Amino acid sequence: MATLVRTDFNFEGQKSVYHGKVRDVYDINDDVLVMIATDRISAFDVILPKGIPSKGQVLNQIAAKFLDATADIVPNWKLATPDPMVTVGLKCEGFRVEMIIRGYLTGSAWREYQAGCRELCGVRLPDGMRENERFPEPIITPTTKADAGHDENISREEIIAQGIVSKEDYETMERYTRALFARGTEIAAAKGLILVDTKYEFGKRDGKVILIDEIHTPDSSRYFYAEGYEERFAKGEPQRQLSKEFVRQWLIDHNFMGKAGQQVPEMTDEYCDSVAQRYIELYEHITGEKFQPAADEDIAARIEKNVAACLSTLKK
């Protein structure tokens, strides 16, 4: 199947383009953003050498559904989804912080806890916890948002003291983060899933804090299957999960964690297809809908045509 791993569009009114790890973002007249979810995949802050079929479509469509499903909680940037891989929305001034919220001790937090850490981003962690154990209450562990390289853990107090975000705006983001996580948890539970942890990004426009970027996708979130969670936890067994963690684990098993001198293991077509199936599986579980892959055609030409039509409509 075809994949889209790079873009080079020149839309009407285009001011600039930002190529991120996964998304390419086109600035239109400093007012609207065209965000293209490519089929690139990253792990340990490294873009892996091959794309994953249908991944961009999965991410874009899940994010669009959750933006719509949470619009009553927080205003968001989305205006339209003119293509399966594209969201068009309002340009906001993004905060230089990612709001990570965790309901369970797993992933990088568990790795730090296992190494003896008992405080994460200023949040005290109870002693005696086990991997994949639920926190008494979800904890917020923000990171600074880096243009390149690794994001860094930071505490609420440091963010406010350093003036990265004002106290008022940070408290608004914190409130929105907890409300969004609660809604995401409810939606996941109805589909037999546990929303384990996730991240949100916010910006500001016309004096208002606005939710931006993707939400509740397998790139930004971790899900466990609810069925069997308690039994697996009691036995200390790994949880069945739907997230990008399985890619990270595959890389770790092949001695790659993004460190200097390490080589990305070979990604065969069979491996890439297996990753695609995991992304599709999550889409179908979390939305309750059958995934319909977009036509296997010239993806770039299709996007160019669909975005041009959308921008023309927005101008009217």
For residue 38, what are the domain limits?
14-92+272-315
Kindly report the CATH number assigned to the domain that includes residue 175: 3.30.470.20
48 and 97 share a domain?
Answer: no
pLDDT tens figures, 251-305: 999 999 999 999 999 999 999 999 999 889 889 988 999 999 998 679 999 999 9
Instruction: Please report, for residues 164, 227, 248, the alpha-carbon distance to residue 43 in angstroms, rounded to integers and kept in the order given.
Output: 26, 28, 6
237 and 97 share a domain?
Answer: yes
Kindly report the CATH number assigned to the domain that includes residue 281: 3.30.200.20
pLDDT tens figures, 183-206: 999 999 999 999 999 999 999 999
293 and 237 share a domain?
Answer: no
Give which of 221, 209, 216, 211 is closest to 170, Cα–Cα.
209
Q: Which of 223, 243, 263 is the last residue of a domain?
A: 243
Q: Is residue 17's pLDDT more than 80?
A: yes
Quote the number of domains for the chain. Answer: 2
Q: With respect to residue 2, please indicate whether it lies within any of the assigned structural domains.
A: no
The pTM for the full model equals 0.90
Query: Which string of b and e fits 257-292 if b means at least 16 CB within 10 Å?
Result: eeeeeeebeebeeeebeebbebbbebbebbbeeeee
74 and 26 share a domain?
Answer: yes
98 and 237 share a domain?
Answer: yes
Q: With respect to residue 7, please indicate whether it lies within any of the assigned structural domains.
A: no
302 and 222 share a domain?
Answer: no
Q: Which of 243, 260, 290 is the last residue of a domain?
A: 243
In 3-state terms, what secondary structure has residue 254?
A: coil
